[in-house]
Amino acid sequence: EVISTSGNNRLGGDDFDQRIVDWVVEEFRKETTVDLSKDKMAMQRVREAAEKAKIELSGILKTDISLPFITMDSNNTPLHLNLSITRAKFDDLTKDLVEATLVPVRRALSDAKMTSKDIQEVLLVGGSTRIPAVQETVKKELGKEPNKSVNPDEVVAMGAAIQGGVLSDHVKDVLLLDVTPLSLGIETLGGVFTKLIERNTTIPTSKSQVFSTAADNQPAVDIHVLQGERPMAANNKTLGRFQLGNIPLAPRGVPQIEVSFDIDANGIVSVSAKDLGTGKSQSITIKSSESLSKADIDRMIKEAQEHEEEDKKRKEKVDLHNECENIIFAAEKSIKDLGDEVNESEKQDVEAKIKDLKDALNGDDIDLINSKKEELLKASQNIAVKAYEKAAKEKEAKEKKDETVEADDVVDADFTEHK
């Protein structure tokens, strides 16, 4: 079972090679004043030699880089490159790259709500995990010796082969459970991304949530399906859109629209919206081929982390705006429902506070909006109590009426007892 996933698609073996390349170019410039980086053919040879040196340093403590006739000087005299590099020097050149490998390790543990003590086995994936410094860093971070029984160049291919066998029913005794790499959800009032399935949820899975309309007499709802980690819909990836129409006209908040997400073992996402009042429904299917690449997933997770504070403020502002709109709606509805039961001065006071809050919502002063919100809540408190009491009385009267109807249905009859 995959509990969480994380990675850095911008970090790999080529980055380690490049550090040796840069070092070789700089050392050669010091010796000869010739800049090899301007010679494309020479640089190709240097890159090949750098990769070879990196591989050799995983098994020995020192290696030589020898490239005869690498280039020519200004007098057209052939120049040869002969350098020695130690494992200690290589480790020094790549120290920050090795440290960077710990970031996704820690993120994966955090997402899984686990610590290094919960890890039973550590498998190394990819040729660069043969670098002794990488293995030592992993051992130090997780407190366990990495498992070296599987070839790191083949481990991903082996896993893919097993998963292919499971999905095609050729492998019967293994069950692999994957996870969703990013959260899935829909856009709601104010452009907010409301998550239904969180990132790193084990698939197959399904989740439902009931929503309602945002305006009176709304005949249809648009379902905007998204994938990502940012709190605002505009910053996430659109997976699809569809509309549920022919909703019976009703005040906002009355229609009950159930949105359901379903992800199968192949990663195919099915999203449906159903009007619980009429039973009408619409749906959309998003195939796994339409999903994001690993590079895009890593980029979106990184962007969510980088903009976390900024996004939090934006979402808080939208949430406050939505809360105020609901308070205004409830206050106006209470005044309308109570009619003459609300005295004129009380009505005028609440209406004035509603106007003040609406004016505040047109600006960006959060403190002012909060202040006007509290003033409206305080002013409309008495009206809200009256509206609640009236609704309770109406409900009680209806229940009594229903009991009376049931009693009227009882038919008296004479009977004779036979002994």
- Output the domain CATH number for residue 136: 3.30.420.40
Please check whether residue 223 lies inside any domain of the structure.
yes
Identify whether residues 90 and 101 lie together within a single domain: no
Identify whether residues 108 and 80 lie together within a single domain: no
Q: What does each of the 419 residues of the chain score in pLDDT, given as a tens digit?
A: 778 888 887 888 899 999 999 999 999 999 999 999 999 999 999 999 999 999 999 888 999 999 999 998 888 889 999 999 999 999 999 999 999 999 989 999 998 899 989 998 898 888 888 899 999 999 999 998 888 777 888 888 888 888 788 778 787 777 666 788 889 999 998 889 999 999 888 888 899 999 988 888 888 888 999 999 999 999 998 888 888 888 888 888 888 999 999 998 777 889 999 999 888 899 888 875 455 777 788 888 888 888 888 888 888 888 898 889 888 888 888 888 777 777 788 888 888 988 999 899 888 888 899 998 898 888 888 777 776 777 677 767 766 666 665 555 555 545 455 54
| CA neighbor of 369 nearest in space, from 380, 361, 377, 378 | 361
Cα pseudo-dihedral 147, 153, 155, 156, rounded to 10:
140
The secondary element (H helix, E strand) that includes residue 63 is strand 62-72
Please check whether residue 278 lies inside any domain of the structure.
yes
What domain range is 223 assigned to? 180-292
Identify whether residues 89 and 21 lie together within a single domain: yes
- The rounded distance, in Å, linking the Cα atoms of 118 and 142 is 9
Q: Which pLDDT belongs to residue 35?
A: 92
Q: What angle do CA 355, 358, 359 make, to 5 degrees?
A: 85
Identify whether residues 122 and 69 lie together within a single domain: no
Q: What separation in angstroms does the CA of 31 have from each of 34, 81, 89, 115?
A: 8, 10, 18, 49
Identify whether residues 196 and 261 lie together within a single domain: yes
The domain that contains 42 carries what CATH number? Answer: 3.90.640.10
Please check whether residue 172 lies inside any domain of the structure.
no
Please check whether residue 3 lies inside any domain of the structure.
no
| CA neighbor of 236 nearest in space, from 186, 294, 180 | 186
Give the count of beta carbons closer than 10 Å to the beta carbon of residue 123: 13
Please check whether residue 412 lies inside any domain of the structure.
no
Among 51, 70, 95, identify where a domain stops: 95
Please check whether residue 78 lies inside any domain of the structure.
yes
Identify whether residues 311 and 255 lie together within a single domain: no
Among 58, 80, 95, identify where a domain stops: 95
Work out how many domains the chain is built from and give that number.
4
Please check whether residue 168 lies inside any domain of the structure.
no
Please check whether residue 126 lies inside any domain of the structure.
yes
The domain that contains 364 carries what CATH number? Answer: 1.20.1270.10
Identify whether residues 19 and 61 lie together within a single domain: yes
